[in-house]
């Protein structure tokens, strides 16, 4: 099946630092999404990417959809304590017309040291 390779698995950073994480795949995806999940909660959508090469920002977050539709990165600038959590990339397959569920990466666990 389709797989998303997400890196890094975990990050230990100082408050105020910038963060960068990425996902790659051997498959092409129609839509690429970035989610944040807090313990015991469902994922919350951060950024959705629909077009190849698309660069989108949401506050301190910036994400880009690779031109080949096989990769994406998420950057967080000037990290703050509430950024702590697990970040997942997720892709919606090229086929299916929206009827397919998402394939998730394994997550990046962000830990911020004061």
Partner 1 sequence: GAVVSQHPSRVICKSGTSVKIECRSLDFQATTMFWYRQFPKQSLMLMATSNEGSKATYEQGVEKDKFLINHASLTLSTLTVTSAHPEDSSFYICSARILSQGGDYGYTFGSGTRLTVV
Residue (39 or 81) nearer to partner 1, CB:
39
Shortest Cβ distance from residue 41 to partner 1 (Å)? 6
Residue (16 or 53) nearer to partner 1, CB:
53
Is-cis flag, bond preceding 8, omega within 30? yes
Shortest Cβ distance from residue 93 to partner 1 (Å)? 11
Shortest Cβ distance from residue 96 to partner 1 (Å)? 9
Residue (79 or 92) nearer to partner 1, CB:
92
100 Cβ contact list (under 8 Å, min separation 6) = 92, 93
Give the binding site for partner 1 (CB under 8 A). Answer: 1, 31, 33, 35, 40-45, 48, 50, 88, 90, 92, 98-107
Residue (41 or 114) nearer to partner 1, CB:
41
Write the burial class of residue 114 (CB in 10 Å: 0-12 exposed, 13-18 middle, 19+ buried).
Answer: exposed
Using CA atoms, how far apart are residues 108 and 76, in angstroms rounded to an integer?
13
Task: Give the strand pairing for 108-113 and 85-93.
Answer: antiparallel
């Amino acid at each position: 099946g389709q797989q998303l390779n997400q890196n890094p698995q975990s990050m230990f950073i100082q408050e105020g630092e910038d963060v960068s994480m990425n996902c790659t795949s051997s498959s092409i995806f129609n839509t690429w999404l970035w989610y944040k999940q807090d313990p015991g909660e469902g994922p919350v959508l951060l950024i959705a990417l629909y077009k190849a090469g698309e660069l989108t920002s949401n506050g301190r977050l910036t994400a880009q959809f690779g031109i080949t539709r096989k990769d994406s990165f998420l950057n967080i600038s000037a990290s703050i304590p509430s950024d702590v959590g697990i970040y997942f990339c997720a892709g919606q397959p090229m086929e299916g017309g929206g009827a397919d569920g998402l394939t998730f990466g394994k997550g990046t666990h962000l830990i911020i040291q004061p």
